[in-house]
Amino acid sequence: MKNSSVAASGRRERKRQQIADHLADTAWALFKMHGFDAVTMERVADVADVAKATLYKHFPVKEALLRHRIHRELVNELPMLLADLAKLPTVVQRLHEFFRHSAEWSVAHRDYLAPYLRFCLGEVGMRETPERESGLDSVFTNFISAGQLSGEFSSAQNAALLAYYLQYLHLAALLRWLHTPGLDLNTEFDRMLELFLHGLDIK
């Protein structure tokens, strides 16, 4: 009885994930075709061929659809990127290369970053759930832990805490780039990372 209950629960979760992916993919196609602001939840439900109640059950607002699509893309792409970065000889090099890739990805997704970030910031302080997590906290923690183990970084501070601060420096650089015309994101990330790695030059 217990095994059948677990199997049924697994099937329900797979079905829920399939529906969520279908809805997010439909929304993403509409966003790319018409622009994020022009697409309504009703339009997403219509094109996805589901009842509005079904759409709202999975996603209360279209920003949640955007987050789901972006986070799924990150989950799919990060393992290969991290495997490539692991071949670099130093953690500092890996960090710089990671942010170079991040800048390339962000430029390609610029039209969607502002609503995505606003939505995520609105959830700060809420209980962490899988759909709210981008995975970057673990990525940064692993980078910093590796640097501490190799002796590149001091072990005086907790790696997870440092990763938390790095996440918000990353966010600050993104927001500055989004709202300041003419900035180069690679340059912004380089400045941000240098500040994180070396801090203020106190005299």
Q: How far is CA 88 from CA 31, 35, 92, 98, 100, in A?
A: 37, 38, 9, 11, 14
pLDDT (tens digit per residue) in 88-137: 999 999 999 999 999 999 999 999 999 999 999 887 766 666 666 778 99
pLDDT of 44 reads 98
Assess whether pLDDT exceeds 90 at residue 14: no
CB 91, CB 147: distance < 8 Å = yes
pLDDT (tens digit per residue) in 134-143: 789 999 999 9
pLDDT (tens digit per residue) in 39-91: 999 999 999 999 999 999 999 999 999 999 999 999 999 999 999 999 999 99
pLDDT of 110 reads 96
Q: How many Å apart are CA 177 and CA 191, to the nearest integer?
A: 12
Q: Which two tokens stand for residue 170?
A: 């990353």
pLDDT of 5 reads 59
Domains within the chain, CATH numbers bracketed: 1-60 (1.10.10.60), 61-203 (1.10.357.10)
pLDDT of 78 reads 94
pLDDT of 13 reads 81
pLDDT of 9 reads 63
pLDDT of 203 reads 60
pLDDT of 132 reads 64
Q: What is the pTM of this model?
A: 0.87
